[in-house]
Amino acid sequence: MAYDTNNPFARIVRGELPAFRVLDDEHVLAFMDIMPQADGHTLVVPKIAGENLLDTPPDALQAMILATQRIARAVDAVFSPAGIVVTQFNRPAAGQTVFHLHFHVIPVYQAGEWRVHGRDKADFAVLEAQAARLRAALS
């Protein structure tokens, strides 16, 4: 499948769609998932075009994994979850629904208790407050 430059995450990177931004540097953007599986669910995306892990250049992957670690540490500090899941999907058969490489950083408060992803939008005021707390933890 050819990379779609109008996918939602590419549009967020370009500033065409709003997002509750947590980290925004030269290579990576991290923002709150608007349909989170848990409070604090954050997405990390590269600023370059890449559909999935298999077609993204190694230097972009390096920046992404380092940023993902920073986000996971901030999520841990801010939300104090019992655990953290970092996940990433490649192609539709594996569950990928947005075809721009992204990592999910999902706090787990109790084993097995996550909301269904992609079903319900979170309250935007709550997401903005969570993003502000994470930004503060990163600074």
Sketch the domain layout of the chain as residue ranges. 8-138
Q: How many Å apart are CA 138 and CA 15, to the nearest integer? A: 21
Q: What is the pLDDT of residue 135?
A: 98
Q: Which two tokens stand for residue 133?
A: 């707390």
Q: How many Å apart are CA 134 and CA 54, to the nearest integer? A: 29
Q: How many Å apart are CA 50 and CA 116, to the nearest integer? A: 26
- Architecture label for domain 8-138: 2-Layer Sandwich (3.30)
- Where residue 112 falls among pLDDT bands split at 50, 70, 90? confident
Q: What is the pLDDT of residue 111?
A: 80
Residue with the two structure tokens 């998932």: 33
Would the pTM of this model clear 0.85, i.e. be above it?
yes
First to last CA, the chain: 38
Q: What is the pLDDT of residue 120?
A: 86
- Does the structure show a pLDDT above 90 at 52? yes
Is 41 noted as a catalytic residue in this protein?
no
24 sits in which H/E element: strand 21-24
More confident residue, 17 or 113: 17
Q: What is the pLDDT of residue 99?
A: 92
Picking from 25, 46, 35, the residue whose alpha carbon sits closest to that of residue 127 is 35
Min mean pLDDT across 27-36, 63-72, 92-101, 116-125 is at: 116-125
Q: What is the pLDDT of residue 17?
A: 95
Q: Which of 27, 41, 100, 102 is catalytic?
A: 102
- Where residue 51 falls among pLDDT bands split at 50, 70, 90? very high
